[in-house]
Structure 1
C-alpha cells in the first residue's frame, strides 16, 4: 500500500508478479472497519479472495491515517504491516541531511528503479507533488526536488481565475491553444514536460554525469511522451519497491516485533 495525500494505491503480489492493483481516495476519516470492508471487497471482486496474504508493506506520507490502516491490516488481513521508515532494510545509503525526512514512497521508488533500471537514476513521480529523486551509481540516495504537482497547479488555476473551467488533463491537439480549454491543457501538459526537462538537465549538470530518467505516478503517461529526458515510464514503480523492501526485511527480528 502506497498512501499518498490524494490517493492510496494498492497492489497484490505473488512473489514479484503483480496480480492485481487498485487506486482509492485517501480518506482521513475512514475507520479500520470501513477500510477493511473496501480492501477485502476489492480483492474479492477481482476473484482473488482465496489468496492468503503473507505480508503487507506500506509507504505513507499521511501519518494521521496509519492507526486505522494498521488496525485494518491486522483485523482483516491477519498481518502486522511493515511500514517503511527508519530501521527498515532498503539497500540504500540515505544522504539526506536528516534521513528521517526522506519520503517512504520516494525510497520505495528508488529501490525499484535500481532493481529494474540500474543506477545512477533519477525518478520523477507525478503525484500530488511532482518529486525528483536522485540515486547515484553507489546506490546513494542523494536527495532531489519537490515541486507542486500537475493537479495542484490545475486546481490553483480554477480557484484563482473564476472564468477558467475545470478541464481534463489530456494532451491538446497543438501547443498553441485555439480555445480556453486547449490553452490550459497545453500549459499544464507542455509546461510540466518543460519543467521536468529543465530540472533533470540541471541535476545532471550538477552531478556531472548522465543519469537514466524513470517516471511514475498517476499522470506519468500524460506528461512523459512530451518530455525529452524521460526514458522509461513505470506506473507501478512504488508498489514494486514496497514488494522488494518487504522481501529484504522478511523474517527480521525488528519486523517480527511490529
Structure 2
C-alpha cells in the first residue's frame, strides 16, 4: 500500500491507497513541534480502526509546504514503516515528472501547486483554473498538459476571519459560515458576510480577469476544505475535487516508479 501525505500550513492530510483504491483519509493540525512518535501514534490508531497493519505500507510520498515538519515526518516513516519517504521538490522535481513551470522563478513554486498540476494533467486532461481554499487562497492557471502558467495568492478565508478577531478588540472569534443574508444585523452576521461574500466576490472577480487575460475560459476546479461552502454562490466552479492533491501524489508516485 501507498501512504500519501499532504502537509499544508493548517493540516497534515494522510491518505492510504491500495492500488488505485482509497482506503482512508485522516488529518491532524499542522504543528512543527509534533514528534515522529506522535505522528506514529496518530496513524497507528487510525490504521487499527481500518484493519490495516503498519507492515502493509510499502512506500510513502509527501508534499510539504512546511519545512519544519519534514524532519519529524521522515522520522515517522522510518520508525513506522522502515521507509525513507519521497518528498516532492527535494527528491522529485517538476522536470522529472514532466511539469513545465512557466513562471519567473520556478524554484519558488510550492510542492502542493506542482502536485495539483499533475492531477489536472493526468485526471482532467484539459486547461483548468484551480482554486484552492487553503491557508492561502490560490488560483492557478494550468494547461491540459500540466504546464503551470502562473497564478494568484491571496490570504485564506480562515486567515482573514482570524485576522479580524486579532486586530479588532471588540470583534469575536467566530467560524466561517454562510450567513442567512448579505446585510448583517448583528456583529457575527456582519463578519460572516464580509468574509464569505467578500471571498466569493474576490474569487469570481479574479477568475473573470484571468479569463480575459488568458484569452479563453478554462473549467474551474475547486479544492480545499472550504470549497463546498462556496459552491452555491460561485456558479463559475465546474467541479469540486477535495482529493485533487492526493490524486496528484498518487499519480506522481506511479510515474516515478515506472521511470
The two structures have a TM-score, normalised by structure 1, of 0.92
Question: Shift of residue 84 of structure 1?
Answer: 0.6
Q: Which runs of 4+ in 1 moved over 6 A?
A: none
Aligned mates of 2:40, 2:131 — CA distance in 1: 31
CA contact (8 A) 2:128 2:218 kept: yes
| Structure 2 residue 166 is the aligned partner of structure 1 residue 162 | no
Aligned mates of 2:161, 2:147 — CA distance in 1: 34
RMSD in angstroms over aligned alpha carbons? Answer: 1.6
CA contact (8 A) 1:189 1:222 kept: no
Question: Can you give the 5+ residue segments of structure 2 that lack an aligned partner in the other structure?
Answer: none
Q: Which residue does the alignment assign to 1:256?
A: none
Moved more, 226-235 or 132-141: 132-141
Aligned mates of 1:135, 1:251 — CA distance in 2: 24
How do 1:87-102 residues align onto structure 2 when only pairs under 5 Å count? 87-88=92-93, 89-102=96-109
Structure 1 counterpart SS, 2:40: helix
CA offsets 1:40-78 (integer angstroms, 9 cap, x no match): 222222332377112111100111111111111122022
| Structure 2 residue 47 is the aligned partner of structure 1 residue 40 | no
Distance 1:50 1:138, change over 3 A: closer
Greater length-normalized contact order (CA 8 Å, ≥ 6 residues apart): 1
Aligned mates of 1:20, 1:90 — CA distance in 2: 26
Q: Which residue does the alignment assign to 1:230?
A: 237
| Structure 2 residue 141 is the aligned partner of structure 1 residue 134 | yes
The two structures have a TM-score, normalised by structure 2, of 0.92
Q: Which residue does the alignment assign to 1:182?
A: 189
User: Of the candidates 17, 25, 30, which is equivalent to residue 34 of structure 2?
Assistant: 30
Question: Can you give the 5+ residue segments of structure 1 that lack an aligned partner in the other structure?
Answer: 253-258
Question: Shift of residue 225 of structure 1?
Answer: 2.3
User: Of the candidates 147, 155, 160, which is equivalent to residue 153 of structure 1?
Assistant: 160
